[in-house]
Amino acid sequence: MLKKSFLLAGLLFVLLVSSKAYADVSHPYRVFTRQFNLVVHQGNVDRAITRGKALEVLLNYFRKNKAVVAYQGSQKELFHGVAAIRPRFSDDVAYACAEKLIDCNNEFRSNQYISQRELLVWFFRLRETKNSDQWDVKSPQSYRKAWVAARNLNLLPQTDPTVTYDSLSELLYRDHVSQSNFNQPYFEGLTADLKEINPANYHSLAQIDGILRGIFIRLYSFRKMKKLLPEESQYLTDLMKYREAFRGLREDLIKNPYLLRNGDSEYSPEVVSAIREYGLQEVLAEYRYNYSKNAAYRQHNLLTGLLKINGRVIMPGETKSHWQMLSDKNLEDFKYGWVIVNGKDEAWEWGGGICGTSTGIFNPVWRSGLEIVERKPHSVYYNTLYAMEDIGLDAAVYRPKPDLRYRNNFDYPVVFSVVNDQKNKTVIVTLFGNSPYRHIKIEGPVFTSERAVEWTREMEYFDGIKQKELLASRYNDIK
């Protein structure tokens, strides 16, 4: 009964919490929109945004934008005029009322989540001040027109109609960049200032390669045109500057990897050598395990096995067997310990606790988005050895089966780093590489029954395509 209560409590907890992947590239648009009081962080990145917050951010953005210079002269009069009728209105709401963004006859429900329809009509009514009357919030035609205009300029960062803190931030940044480039459609890599092309904003080689391909396509299309307008000629010149800037950034990152900009003393010589040789730029994922409660034999086998994998490089397209990687470095130095046999019985056998090594490798491999070829959970999950919040992310191995096998489906090599923090009794497994993903979203664990758990990972490529995968685990017992 106690165990069931514990599991139910754990289930309620994990349903409220989702885990984010470690691998995530920088987002210059999040820095850009802070000036408009739109601060995006891990706590609200996927949170839907309210009407009140969206209105505040849009007005802050367009007040600082040259497109709304015409508003500045009459702004105070509008505020005072409407506020006199509705004293409880804030200046933002009063202004929105006077400019027909909202219905002045009804209460403005600022805590409601804003729809994409309302946001886009507000956006273009404020953006196009000379023709603002054509954007009517109540008109379906206005929404269709706004949606087409946003798609033509490539302002919408996602197909999901939910307006989040992150998607609003990126929409405003894309509009800013588009207007800075003669209202040309936004594409990844187009910036308002060449100074933005730096390692802090772009240090994924896969992302940079995609940007260079996009620039080439646009240069080719413009060069086929027989006659260019003056602004188009200037845009063509700017595109060539972007190309050279990204080429230079790519060469600089290859020679001086972003990972080592702050020094390399914490990594072993084998890891540093691989990072430099292959131009690896990113921490794909990291796993930390505190082994202080493990028996001495298990601590020995755990550290012996993981340290054999430190500095190991997995080349593109290569499939690795965990048993093979351990066998390459000699299996005779593992000790005897308790193991589970026949799915339920405990026996004193060679290699007790060696599953800790496969679990330590599986976690960063799965979290980074590498392809899992073979993986089996334990028959019994011991929450005295592994945290309950990580249930479903373990990997059982024993010779000759079961095994853990995974494939490097990236275009670049990946390398493992294993560090033993003896002071804190913690082993740290880090996977370095160049991710093809813009973002990885990981959610779980979710209990589908008393002893069955699911995790999901959703990988988003730099072109916006998403790939979602399910990881299911079932146990005979949880202790």
pLDDT in tens, 332-381: 787 776 677 665 667 677 667 788 899 999 999 999 999 999 999 998 89
In the chain, the percentage of residues whose pLDDT exceeds 90 is: 42
- Mean pLDDT within 257-286: 86
Q: What is the pLDDT of residue 88?
A: 42
Distance (Å, whole) CA 112 – CA 51: 6
Confidence of residue 262 (pLDDT cuts 50, 70, 90): confident
Cβ atoms of 351 and 400 within 8 Å: the answer is: no
Indicate if the pLDDT at residue 2 is higher than 70: no
Which burial class, exposed, middle or buried, applies to 69 when counting CB atoms under 10 A from its CB (0-12, 13-18, 19+)?
exposed
Indicate if the pLDDT at residue 10 is higher than 50: no
Residue boundaries of the structural domains of the chain? 2-15+257-474, 28-181
Distance (Å, whole) CA 446 – CA 472: 10
Indicate if the pLDDT at residue 126 is higher than 50: yes
Q: Which of 139, 52, 131, 128 is nearest to 96 (CA)?
A: 52
Task: Give 154-213 pLDDT, tens digit per residue.
Answer: 998 776 788 999 999 999 999 999 988 888 899 888 888 888 898 888 888 888 998 998
Q: Which residues contact 160 (CB under 8 A, 6 or more apart)?
A: 167
What's the pTM value of the predicted model, to 2 decimals?
0.73
Cβ atoms of 440 and 24 within 8 Å: the answer is: yes
| 3-class secondary structure, 391 | coil
Cβ atoms of 253 and 335 within 8 Å: the answer is: no
- Give, rounded to a whole angstrom, the gap between the first and last alpha carbons of the chain: 13
Indicate if the pLDDT at residue 18 is higher than 80: no
Question: What is the residue whose two structure tokens read 């890891």?
Answer: 271
In the chain, the percentage of residues whose pLDDT exceeds 70 is: 84
Distance (Å, whole) CA 432 – CA 279: 10
Tell me the residue length of the chain.
Answer: 479
Which segment, 220-229, 257-266, 282-291, is predicted with the most confidence on average? 282-291
